[in-house]
A and B are shown apart, each in its own frame.
Chain A
Amino acid sequence: GAGVSQSPSNKVTEKGKDVELRCDPISGHTALYWYRQSLGQGLEFLIYFQGNSAPDKSGLPSDRFSAERTGGSVSTLTIQRTQQEDSAVYLCASTRRGAAQGDTQYFGPGTRLTVL
């Protein structure tokens, strides 16, 4: 079946502009995760959604970052007033059940964000 999809695949923006990144999880997966991966920085957890529960936003680096998950499926990560240090690959993953179940996370292809 279809995997996790993300759009756009690449995004170039100017410093100070807002961007929206989209994630479509695997059909039927109830949990969704956002990460970012910077060159030399490894994988950094951002936020976790599970059903109707309050999301775990503990990884969001600043209040310029926010995310929504509508209808328990598609998620949008919004970065306001982008800065050059926001440049990274933003990855989305999903699991069939909630995080406490320990299911394997399956990743999407990522969105490469470049802030000029």
Chain B
Amino acid sequence: DAKTTQPPSMDCAEGRAANLPCNHSTISGNEYVYWYRQIHSQGPQYIIHGLKNNETNEMASLIITEDRKSSTLILPHATLRDTAVYYCIVRASNDYKLSFGAGTTVTVRA
């Protein structure tokens, strides 16, 4: 029951912006888009989330299309420490049983 689709992997050059796409064409009006990442052997780390509007925090920016069927996570200046598996999920506010798909394995190269 995959609610999101992400590319399995992508490479990024250190210091450049990394743009991670996510498709969620069946998203419901009450569902948020969340991004987590998981660095090897660590627990999932929350990055950002949004409903309709674009969001920015100290880690990343989230761009959500007007029809909400897709979004892009932007890491503005990727570093080697950003190498991780990035998970895009959609969830309603009262949906607390999180599940991750396969995510995108991002490798930042020097």
Chain B residues with CB under 8 Å of A99's CB are: 94, 96
A112's nearest neighbour on chain B, judged by CB, is B41
Q: Are A107 and B43 in contact (CB under 8 A)?
A: yes
A6's nearest neighbour on chain B, judged by CB, is B43
Which residues of A pack against B, CB within 8 Å? 4, 6, 31, 33, 35, 42-45, 48, 59, 91, 93, 95, 99-102, 104-110, 112
Chain B's interface size range is 20 to 34
How far in angstroms is the closest Cβ of chain B from A8? 14
Q: Are B42 and A105 in contact (CB under 8 A)?
A: no
Count of CB-CB pairs between chains A and B under 8 Å = 52
B interface SS class: loop
Chain A residues with CB under 8 Å of B42's CB are: 109-110
Q: Are B44 and A107 in contact (CB under 8 A)?
A: yes
Q: Are B44 and A33 in contact (CB under 8 A)?
A: no
Bitwise interface map of B from 24 to 49 toward A, beta carbon under 8 Å scored 1, else 0: 00000000101010000111111001
Q: Are A109 and B43 in contact (CB under 8 A)?
A: yes
Chain A residues with CB under 8 Å of B100's CB are: 42-43
* 7 closest cross-chain pairs (CB), A and B: A102-B93, A99-B96, A107-B43, A45-B97, A43-B100, A107-B44, A109-B43
B36's nearest neighbour on chain A, judged by CB, is A107
Chain B residues with CB under 8 Å of A105's CB are: 46, 96, 98
Chain A residues with CB under 8 Å of B36's CB are: 107
Chain A residues with CB under 8 Å of B32's CB are: 102
Q: Are B96 and A33 in contact (CB under 8 A)?
A: yes
**How many angstroms from the CA of A12 to the CA of B98 in the assembled complex?**
27
A9's nearest neighbour on chain B, judged by CB, is B41
